[in-house]
Copies of this chain bind each other. A is one copy, B any other.
Amino acid sequence: MTYFEFDAPTIIRTKRDGGRLSDAAIDWIIDAYTDGRVADAQMAALLMAIVLRGMDRGEIARWTAAMMASGELMDFTDLPVPTVGKHSTGGVGDKATLAVVPVVAACGAAVPKASGRGLGHTGGTLDKLESIAGFTAELSNQRVREQLCDVGAAIFAAGQLAPADKKIYALRDITGTTESLPLVASSVMSKKLAEGAGALVLDVKVGSGALVKSEAQSRELAHTMVELGAAYGVPTRALLTEMDCPLGATVGNSLEVAESCEVLAGGGPPDVVELTLRLAGEMLELAGVDGRDPAQTLRDGTAMDSFRRLIAAQGGDLSVPLPIGAYSETVIAYRNGTMGNIDAMAVGLTAWRLGAGRSRAGERIQAGAGVRIHRRPGEPVVAGEPLFTLYTDTPERLGAAMAQLEGGWSVGDTRPALRPLIIDRIPG
C-alpha cells in the first residue's frame, strides 16, 4: 500500500468503483507500466476493471494518446504522395490487405501498413507474407519512406509504434481482457495514428469469427474509432463487414497469399474481390485521389505489378513456389444439397489446430497449414464431392482438426440466409 499522489492501487480502485480516470492518471499509468514501474498484475487488474466498468470517450481518447506517446510517431506529410492507412479488426481468411494495398498503390496513393502477427484463431498479415521466400517485414523508418515513394506501399512490423499497446495487448491476451470496446478501440487507433498515414479506412468485422460478435457492438466500436481519428485530424472512415463465415475460399498463411494473387490476377472469390475494391475505393476517396478505377487495376495487371514490386522491395521471391502442408485430409459431401453457413470460428480454430496459428506469442507456425473451402455457403453440393481440404506438415494434428471442423458446417435443402458482405459504412 502506498499513499503517493499517483500509485497503481489508487488508480485501479478508482476504476473498480466506477470512477473516471483523470488525464494525469492515465498518462502516469501507461508510462509507468511501459517502463516497468507498474507490475503486470496491476495493469491486469486495471484492465479487468475497465472491461467491466468501461471508459468514456474522453478516457478512451487519452488512453489512446498515452499509448501513442509511448513510442515513435511516424510522419509522412512531407512526402510527394498522399498516404492512406487501412486496418482490419481481424477475422478468418481475411487476406484483404494483401490485395488492397497494391490496388491503392497502383491508383496513386501510398500505403504505410504496420502489421502484426496472428494469435489464436485469427491470422496475421506478416505471417501470411512471410510464407513468401525471403520476405522481410523488418524495415527501418527510412526504408519505409523510400518504399512509399518508390513502390507506393510498405508492409512492416509495428515494432517501434505504441510499445505500451504492444505490452498491454500481450497482457490482455492471457488475462481474458481482450473483448472490450475501449481497449480494442484504443489499441487499434494508437498504432494506426502512430503509423502516420494522412487518412484511415477501418474494416470492422462482425460475426462469429470477429473479435466483437454483435453488430451493435461493432457499430459502436467503429463509431468510437472514427471519432478518435477525427479528433487527431486524420480523416477516418469505417466499413462494417460480415465475418460469420470465412472470407474467400482459403484460411491459412500460404493458401491466403495464393488466393490474393488470384484476385490480383483478375480472378479469385467474389467476396474477396468485392471487399478489396470497396476498401480501396474508400481509401482513394479519403486520400483525395481520383481518376483511376480500382477494378481496372485488377483487370490490366497494374495491381499485380504493384504487388510484385512491393514484395521484391522487401526481399520476397515470388518465383519460389509457396509452401503447402505435406499431409492433407479431405471432407467429402455425404449427400446432395446446398452448402449452409460455414462457421468462421470453427474454420479458424481448425486452421489453428493444423498449425497455422499460435497458442502463445512467439510460437513458430506452419506457413503451409490451413483449410481450403471447396463449396462456399449457398453453392450446390453433390454427394461424394470434396467440401474441405485440410493441410498440415504434422499429420498427428489432423484428427483434432477434423473434429474441430465438425459441426461448423452443414449441407441442407435450401439456400442459407446470408448477410451482405458490406453491412454498413460509417463515414467520418
Using a CB–CB cutoff of 8 Å, the interface residues on chain A facing chain B are 1-3, 8-13, 16, 39-49, 51-53, 119-121, 171, 173-177, 349, 352, 359-360
A352 to B51, CA, bound (A): 34
Q: Do B39 and A42 touch across chains, with their CB atoms under 8 A apart?
A: no
Instruction: Tell me the smallest distance from the CB of A326 to a CB of chain B, in Å.
Output: 24
Q: Do A1 and B45 touch across chains, with their CB atoms under 8 A apart?
A: no
Q: How many of these chains are in the complex?
A: 2
Contacts of A9 in B (CB 8 A): 173-176
Looking at the complex, which one of B12, B121, B176, B177 makes contact with A175 (CB distance below 8 Å)?
B12
Contacts of A16 in B (CB 8 A): 48, 51-52, 176-177
6 cross-chain pairs, A with B, having the tightest CB-CB distances, nearest first: A12-B176, A1-B120, A45-B175, A48-B48, A41-B44, A40-B41
List 17 A-B pairs, Cβ < 8 Å: A1-B121, A1-B173, A3-B349, A8-B175, A8-B176, A10-B176, A12-B177, A16-B177, A39-B40, A40-B40, A40-B41, A42-B44, A45-B48, A45-B176, A45-B177, A48-B48, A48-B52
Known pairs A41-B43, A45-B47; list 18 more (Cβ under 8 Å): A1-B120, A2-B359, A2-B360, A8-B175, A8-B176, A9-B174, A12-B48, A12-B176, A12-B177, A16-B48, A40-B44, A41-B41, A41-B44, A41-B174, A44-B48, A46-B176, A48-B48, A49-B52
Instruction: Tell me the smallest distance from the CB of A151 to a CB of chain B, in Å.
Output: 34
Contacts of A13 in B (CB 8 A): 176
Q: Do A42 and B174 touch across chains, with their CB atoms under 8 A apart?
A: yes
Contacts of A359 in B (CB 8 A): 1-2
A349 to B359, CA, bound (A): 46
Q: Do A175 and B40 touch across chains, with their CB atoms under 8 A apart?
A: no
Contacts of A177 in B (CB 8 A): 12, 16, 45
Q: With CB as the reference atom, state the residue of chain B lying closest to A122.
A: B1
Contacts of A47 in B (CB 8 A): 45
